[in-house]
Amino acid sequence: MLKKIMIARHHGFCMGVKRAINIAEETAQDKDRKVTILNEIVHNETVVQRFRDQGVGQAYSLDDVGEGTLIISAHGIAPHVIEDARAKGLDVIDATCPLVTRIYNIVMKVIENGYHVIHFGDPHHDETQGVVGHAPDKITVVTSKEELPNLPDWTDRKLGLTSQSTCNQNEVAEFQQLAKVKWPHIEIFDTICNATTQRQNAILDLAPQVNMVLVVGSKTSANSVRLAQISDAICGRGILISSAEDIRDEWFADEKIERVGVSAGASTPEFLVEAVIQRLVALSGGTAEVILPERRERIKNVASQAG
Ligand code: SF4
Protein backbone atom coordinates (compact mmCIF):
# COMPACT_ATOMS: atom_id res chain seq x y z
CA MET A 1 0.00 0.00 0.00
CA LEU A 2 1.34 3.42 -0.98
CA LYS A 3 2.08 5.36 2.20
CA LYS A 4 4.51 8.11 1.30
CA ILE A 5 4.97 10.36 -1.70
CA MET A 6 8.33 12.07 -1.50
CA ILE A 7 9.06 15.06 -3.72
CA ALA A 8 12.57 15.70 -5.03
CA ARG A 9 14.36 18.66 -3.45
CA HIS A 10 15.00 20.21 -6.87
CA HIS A 11 12.69 19.50 -9.75
CA GLY A 12 10.87 21.23 -12.59
CA PHE A 13 11.51 24.50 -14.41
CA CYS A 14 15.07 25.82 -14.44
CA MET A 15 16.12 29.41 -15.00
CA GLY A 16 16.79 28.91 -18.73
CA VAL A 17 13.40 27.33 -19.37
CA LYS A 18 11.48 30.00 -17.44
CA ARG A 19 13.37 32.70 -19.28
CA ALA A 20 12.70 31.16 -22.72
CA ILE A 21 8.98 30.72 -22.00
CA ASN A 22 8.72 34.32 -20.75
CA ILE A 23 10.49 35.62 -23.87
CA ALA A 24 8.20 33.55 -26.13
CA GLU A 25 5.06 34.66 -24.27
CA GLU A 26 6.06 38.30 -24.50
CA THR A 27 6.90 37.99 -28.19
CA ALA A 28 3.60 36.21 -28.89
CA GLN A 29 1.74 39.32 -27.66
CA ASP A 30 2.62 40.99 -30.97
CA LYS A 31 -0.50 40.22 -32.96
CA ASP A 32 0.63 42.32 -35.95
CA ARG A 33 3.40 39.92 -36.96
CA LYS A 34 3.51 36.20 -37.44
CA VAL A 35 5.57 34.67 -34.66
CA THR A 36 7.27 31.30 -35.18
CA ILE A 37 9.35 29.24 -32.78
CA LEU A 38 12.26 27.37 -34.39
CA ASN A 39 12.49 23.89 -32.82
CA GLU A 40 10.67 23.31 -29.53
CA ILE A 41 10.94 26.32 -27.22
CA VAL A 42 11.68 23.81 -24.44
CA HIS A 43 11.44 20.02 -24.62
CA ASN A 44 7.99 19.57 -23.14
CA GLU A 45 4.99 18.67 -25.27
CA THR A 46 2.48 20.45 -23.00
CA VAL A 47 4.40 23.73 -23.17
CA VAL A 48 4.87 23.37 -26.93
CA GLN A 49 1.16 22.66 -27.45
CA ARG A 50 0.16 25.70 -25.38
CA PHE A 51 2.09 27.99 -27.72
CA ARG A 52 0.52 26.26 -30.73
CA ASP A 53 -2.92 26.81 -29.18
CA GLN A 54 -2.11 30.53 -28.86
CA GLY A 55 -1.50 30.65 -32.61
CA VAL A 56 2.31 30.74 -32.41
CA GLY A 57 3.88 28.95 -35.38
CA GLN A 58 6.20 25.98 -34.93
CA ALA A 59 8.94 25.17 -37.41
CA TYR A 60 11.83 22.73 -37.48
CA SER A 61 13.59 24.27 -40.45
CA LEU A 62 14.21 27.85 -41.52
CA ASP A 63 12.96 26.83 -44.98
CA ASP A 64 9.44 26.64 -43.47
CA VAL A 65 9.47 30.23 -42.16
CA GLY A 66 8.71 32.95 -44.68
CA GLU A 67 8.03 36.07 -42.65
CA GLY A 68 7.62 37.69 -39.25
CA THR A 69 9.46 37.02 -36.02
CA LEU A 70 11.54 33.93 -35.34
CA ILE A 71 12.18 32.79 -31.76
CA ILE A 72 15.30 30.72 -31.10
CA SER A 73 14.63 28.04 -28.46
CA ALA A 74 16.27 27.66 -25.04
CA HIS A 75 18.62 25.05 -26.52
CA GLY A 76 20.19 27.53 -28.91
CA ILE A 77 21.17 27.20 -32.54
CA ALA A 78 24.15 27.39 -34.90
CA PRO A 79 25.10 31.02 -35.67
CA HIS A 80 24.65 30.59 -39.43
CA VAL A 81 20.93 29.87 -38.85
CA ILE A 82 20.51 33.27 -37.18
CA GLU A 83 22.44 34.93 -40.02
CA ASP A 84 20.30 33.13 -42.63
CA ALA A 85 17.10 34.13 -40.79
CA ARG A 86 18.12 37.79 -40.76
CA ALA A 87 19.09 37.57 -44.43
CA LYS A 88 15.53 36.35 -45.12
CA GLY A 89 14.19 39.49 -43.42
CA LEU A 90 13.03 37.78 -40.24
CA ASP A 91 13.22 39.50 -36.86
CA VAL A 92 15.16 37.15 -34.61
CA ILE A 93 14.42 36.91 -30.89
CA ASP A 94 17.01 34.76 -29.18
CA ALA A 95 15.75 32.79 -26.14
CA THR A 96 18.91 30.67 -25.89
CA CYS A 97 19.68 29.86 -22.24
CA PRO A 98 22.64 31.93 -21.02
CA LEU A 99 24.26 28.70 -19.79
CA VAL A 100 24.16 27.31 -23.32
CA THR A 101 25.64 30.58 -24.57
CA ARG A 102 28.38 30.09 -21.96
CA ILE A 103 29.27 26.78 -23.67
CA TYR A 104 29.45 28.59 -27.04
CA ASN A 105 31.75 31.19 -25.50
CA ILE A 106 34.06 28.57 -23.96
CA VAL A 107 34.21 26.57 -27.18
CA MET A 108 34.90 29.61 -29.37
CA LYS A 109 37.53 30.99 -27.03
CA VAL A 110 39.57 27.79 -26.90
CA ILE A 111 39.18 27.25 -30.64
CA GLU A 112 40.50 30.76 -31.25
CA ASN A 113 43.49 29.74 -29.13
CA GLY A 114 44.21 26.81 -31.45
CA TYR A 115 42.39 24.00 -29.62
CA HIS A 116 40.34 21.15 -31.02
CA VAL A 117 37.23 20.53 -28.87
CA ILE A 118 35.85 17.16 -27.84
CA HIS A 119 32.22 17.66 -26.88
CA PHE A 120 30.53 14.90 -24.87
CA GLY A 121 26.82 14.78 -25.73
CA ASP A 122 24.01 13.59 -27.96
CA PRO A 123 24.74 14.61 -31.57
CA HIS A 124 21.01 14.66 -32.36
CA HIS A 125 20.09 17.07 -29.56
CA ASP A 126 19.36 20.71 -30.51
CA GLU A 127 21.91 21.96 -28.00
CA THR A 128 24.75 19.84 -29.36
CA GLN A 129 23.90 20.80 -32.93
CA GLY A 130 24.04 24.47 -31.90
CA VAL A 131 27.43 23.99 -30.25
CA VAL A 132 28.88 22.09 -33.21
CA GLY A 133 27.44 24.67 -35.59
CA HIS A 134 29.81 27.23 -34.10
CA ALA A 135 32.87 25.48 -35.57
CA PRO A 136 32.00 22.17 -37.27
CA ASP A 137 35.60 21.40 -38.32
CA LYS A 138 37.04 22.00 -34.87
CA ILE A 139 34.60 20.01 -32.72
CA THR A 140 34.28 16.25 -32.38
CA VAL A 141 31.15 14.97 -30.66
CA VAL A 142 31.57 11.89 -28.49
CA THR A 143 28.54 10.05 -27.13
CA SER A 144 30.11 7.46 -24.85
CA LYS A 145 33.37 6.28 -23.30
CA GLU A 146 33.28 3.24 -25.64
CA GLU A 147 34.21 5.55 -28.53
CA LEU A 148 37.47 6.64 -26.89
CA PRO A 149 39.77 3.86 -28.21
CA ASN A 150 38.83 4.69 -31.80
CA LEU A 151 39.66 8.38 -31.54
CA PRO A 152 43.05 9.71 -32.74
CA ASP A 153 45.92 10.41 -30.34
CA TRP A 154 45.92 14.05 -31.40
CA THR A 155 49.42 14.59 -30.06
CA ASP A 156 49.82 17.38 -32.61
CA ARG A 157 47.19 19.69 -31.14
CA LYS A 158 45.81 21.26 -28.01
CA LEU A 159 42.57 19.63 -26.84
CA GLY A 160 39.62 20.91 -24.82
CA LEU A 161 36.75 18.85 -23.39
CA THR A 162 33.23 20.19 -22.89
CA SER A 163 29.88 18.48 -22.39
CA GLN A 164 26.20 18.96 -23.05
CA SER A 165 24.62 20.97 -20.22
CA THR A 166 22.24 18.13 -19.25
CA CYS A 167 24.58 15.13 -19.24
CA ASN A 168 24.75 12.60 -16.42
CA GLN A 169 27.39 14.14 -14.14
CA ASN A 170 28.83 10.73 -13.15
CA GLU A 171 29.18 9.65 -16.78
CA VAL A 172 30.91 12.91 -17.61
CA ALA A 173 33.26 12.59 -14.61
CA GLU A 174 34.20 9.09 -15.74
CA PHE A 175 34.70 10.24 -19.33
CA GLN A 176 36.87 13.13 -18.14
CA GLN A 177 39.11 10.71 -16.21
CA LEU A 178 39.47 8.36 -19.18
CA ALA A 179 40.09 11.27 -21.56
CA LYS A 180 42.85 12.51 -19.27
CA VAL A 181 44.51 9.09 -19.51
CA LYS A 182 44.27 9.01 -23.32
CA TRP A 183 45.18 12.68 -23.79
CA PRO A 184 47.16 13.83 -20.72
CA HIS A 185 47.35 17.37 -22.15
CA ILE A 186 43.55 17.78 -22.52
CA GLU A 187 41.99 20.78 -20.81
CA ILE A 188 38.66 20.07 -19.13
CA PHE A 189 35.80 22.56 -18.91
CA ASP A 190 32.80 21.84 -16.68
CA THR A 191 29.77 22.78 -18.71
CA ILE A 192 27.01 20.76 -17.08
CA CYS A 193 24.63 23.44 -15.81
CA ASN A 194 23.69 24.03 -12.16
CA ALA A 195 20.07 23.06 -12.72
CA THR A 196 21.12 19.65 -14.04
CA THR A 197 23.52 19.07 -11.15
CA GLN A 198 20.91 20.08 -8.56
CA ARG A 199 18.20 17.86 -10.04
CA GLN A 200 20.54 14.86 -10.35
CA ASN A 201 21.85 15.32 -6.79
CA ALA A 202 18.26 15.53 -5.54
CA ILE A 203 17.55 12.18 -7.24
CA LEU A 204 20.68 10.65 -5.73
CA ASP A 205 19.29 11.69 -2.35
CA LEU A 206 15.67 10.67 -2.99
CA ALA A 207 15.94 7.37 -4.92
CA PRO A 208 17.53 5.31 -2.09
CA GLN A 209 14.61 6.22 0.17
CA VAL A 210 11.81 5.00 -2.10
CA ASN A 211 10.62 1.91 -3.98
CA MET A 212 9.90 3.77 -7.21
CA VAL A 213 10.57 7.20 -8.74
CA LEU A 214 8.22 8.83 -11.22
CA VAL A 215 9.92 11.52 -13.30
CA VAL A 216 7.50 13.88 -15.02
CA GLY A 217 8.86 14.98 -18.38
CA SER A 218 8.80 14.40 -22.11
CA LYS A 219 10.78 11.70 -23.89
CA THR A 220 12.50 14.48 -25.85
CA SER A 221 13.78 16.07 -22.62
CA ALA A 222 17.37 14.85 -22.17
CA ASN A 223 17.55 15.85 -18.51
CA SER A 224 14.21 14.14 -17.69
CA VAL A 225 15.34 10.91 -19.35
CA ARG A 226 18.58 11.10 -17.36
CA LEU A 227 16.71 11.52 -14.04
CA ALA A 228 14.62 8.42 -14.76
CA GLN A 229 17.74 6.42 -15.71
CA ILE A 230 19.57 7.44 -12.52
CA SER A 231 16.51 6.59 -10.40
CA ASP A 232 16.14 3.23 -12.11
CA ALA A 233 19.78 2.35 -11.41
CA ILE A 234 19.35 3.20 -7.71
CA CYS A 235 15.93 1.95 -6.66
CA GLY A 236 15.10 -0.42 -9.50
CA ARG A 237 12.09 1.50 -10.80
CA GLY A 238 12.61 4.89 -12.39
CA ILE A 239 9.76 5.65 -14.75
CA LEU A 240 9.44 8.61 -17.11
CA ILE A 241 5.85 9.79 -17.46
CA SER A 242 4.62 12.73 -19.49
CA SER A 243 1.62 13.35 -17.22
CA ALA A 244 -0.58 11.81 -14.51
CA GLU A 245 -2.52 9.97 -17.23
CA ASP A 246 0.50 7.72 -17.82
CA ILE A 247 0.37 6.28 -14.29
CA ARG A 248 -0.84 2.67 -14.28
CA ASP A 249 -2.74 1.23 -11.30
CA GLU A 250 -0.92 -2.09 -11.68
CA TRP A 251 2.40 -0.44 -10.78
CA PHE A 252 1.05 -0.28 -7.23
CA ALA A 253 -0.43 -3.77 -7.03
CA ASP A 254 2.77 -4.91 -5.30
CA GLU A 255 2.24 -4.35 -1.55
CA LYS A 256 5.93 -3.60 -1.19
CA ILE A 257 5.53 -0.30 -3.08
CA GLU A 258 5.08 1.92 -0.02
CA ARG A 259 7.21 4.94 -0.86
CA VAL A 260 7.19 6.68 -4.23
CA GLY A 261 9.44 9.56 -5.23
CA VAL A 262 8.38 12.26 -7.64
CA SER A 263 10.70 14.46 -9.68
CA ALA A 264 10.43 16.40 -12.92
CA GLY A 265 12.77 17.53 -15.67
CA ALA A 266 13.85 21.14 -16.09
CA SER A 267 11.23 21.76 -18.78
CA THR A 268 8.22 20.33 -16.89
CA PRO A 269 5.54 22.77 -15.64
CA GLU A 270 4.69 22.45 -11.95
CA PHE A 271 0.97 21.86 -12.60
CA LEU A 272 1.86 18.53 -14.23
CA VAL A 273 3.78 17.55 -11.08
CA GLU A 274 0.83 18.59 -8.90
CA ALA A 275 -1.50 16.43 -10.98
CA VAL A 276 0.82 13.44 -10.53
CA ILE A 277 0.84 13.95 -6.75
CA GLN A 278 -2.96 14.15 -6.68
CA ARG A 279 -3.24 10.96 -8.74
CA LEU A 280 -0.87 9.12 -6.39
CA VAL A 281 -2.78 10.29 -3.34
CA ALA A 282 -6.01 9.08 -4.94
CA LEU A 283 -4.36 5.72 -5.69
CA SER A 284 -3.50 5.37 -2.00
CA GLY A 285 -7.14 5.79 -1.11
CA GLY A 286 -6.41 9.29 0.12
CA THR A 287 -4.14 8.21 2.94
CA ALA A 288 -0.60 8.83 1.61
CA GLU A 289 1.52 11.57 3.07
CA VAL A 290 3.11 14.08 0.71
CA ILE A 291 6.56 14.94 1.94
CA LEU A 292 8.69 17.83 0.74
CA PRO A 293 12.32 17.12 1.56
CA GLU A 294 13.24 20.78 2.04
CA ARG A 295 11.82 20.69 5.52
CA ARG A 296 11.91 16.95 6.15
CA GLU A 297 8.51 17.08 7.67
CA ARG A 298 5.04 16.06 6.84
CA ILE A 299 3.69 19.09 5.09
CA LYS A 300 0.24 18.09 4.13
CA ASN A 301 -2.07 15.26 3.60
CA VAL A 302 -3.83 16.12 0.39
CA ALA A 303 -6.42 13.40 0.80
CA SER A 304 -9.15 15.98 0.92
CA GLN A 305 -7.95 17.45 -2.38
CA ALA A 306 -7.69 14.13 -4.16
CA GLY A 307 -11.36 14.18 -4.93
S1 SF4 B 1 18.78 22.76 -18.25
FE2 SF4 B 1 20.50 24.16 -17.83
S3 SF4 B 1 21.30 24.78 -19.84
FE4 SF4 B 1 19.27 23.85 -20.17
S5 SF4 B 1 17.84 25.59 -20.15
FE6 SF4 B 1 17.95 24.82 -18.03
S7 SF4 B 1 19.56 26.06 -17.02
FE8 SF4 B 1 19.79 26.31 -19.25
Write the CATH number for 294.
3.40.1010.20
Query: What are the φ and ψ backbone dihedral angles of 141, each rounded to 5 degrees?
Result: -90, 130
pLDDT digits (tens, 9 = 90+) for 157-167: 999 999 999 99
Domain count, the chain: 3
pLDDT 10s digits, 4-30: 999 999 999 999 999 999 999 999 998
Cα 17 to ligand 1 centroid, rounded to whole Å? 7
Over the stretch 242-298, which tens digit does the pLDDT of each residue have? 999 999 999 998 888 999 999 999 999 999 999 999 999 999 999 999 998 764 444
Instruction: Decide: 266 in ligand 1 pocket, CB within 6 A.
Output: yes
Sheet of 289-292, strands arranged across? 238-241, 212-216, 259-264, 4-7, 289-292, 297-300
Do 229 and 254 lie in a common domain?
A: yes
Percentage of the chain modeled with pLDDT above 70: 95
Residues 253, 166, single domain; the answer is: no
Q: Which of 97, 130, 160 is the last residue of a domain?
A: 97
Q: Is 78 in the pocket of ligand 1 (CB under 6 A)?
A: no
User: Is there a single domain that holds both residue 201 and residue 299?
Assistant: yes
Q: Which of 127, 171, 250, 294 is catalytic?
A: 127
Q: Choose the residue to mutate in 10, 13, 17, 223 for probing ligand 1, maximizing ligand atoms within 8 Å of C-beta.
A: 17
Note the pLDDT tens digit of each residue in 99-137. Answer: 999 999 999 999 999 999 999 999 999 999 999 999 999
Ligand 1 in reach of 100 Cβ (< 6 A): yes
Same domain assignment for residues 204 and 288? yes
DSSP string, 234-277: HHS-EEEESSGGG--GGGG-STT--EEEEEE-TT--HHHHHHHH
Q: Measure the CA–CA gap between 75 and 14, rounded to whole angstroms.
A: 13
Domain span including residue 85:
15-97
195 lines ligand 1 (CB under 6 A): yes
Q: Whose CA is nearest to atom 7 of ligand 1?
A: 16
pLDDT of residue 5: 97
The model's pTM: 0.91
End-to-end Cα separation, the chain, in angstroms = 19
Ligand 1 within 6 A of CB of 167: no
Catalytic, 40? Answer no
Which among 160, 188, 216 is the end of a domain?
Answer: 188
Same domain, 202 and 287: yes
Does residue 21's CB lie within 6 angstroms of at least one atom of ligand 1?
A: no
Q: Whose CA is nearest to atom 2 of ligand 1?
A: 193
Q: Which of 188, 205, 220 is the last residue of a domain?
A: 188
Read off the pLDDT band of 307 (50, 70, 90).
very low
Separation of CA 16 and ligand 1 centre (Å): 5
Which H/E stretch holds residue 128?
Answer: helix 126-132
Residues 261 and 162 in one domain: no
**One-letter amino acid for residue 175 of the chain:** F
Q: State the CATH number of the domain containing residue 46.
A: 3.40.50.11270
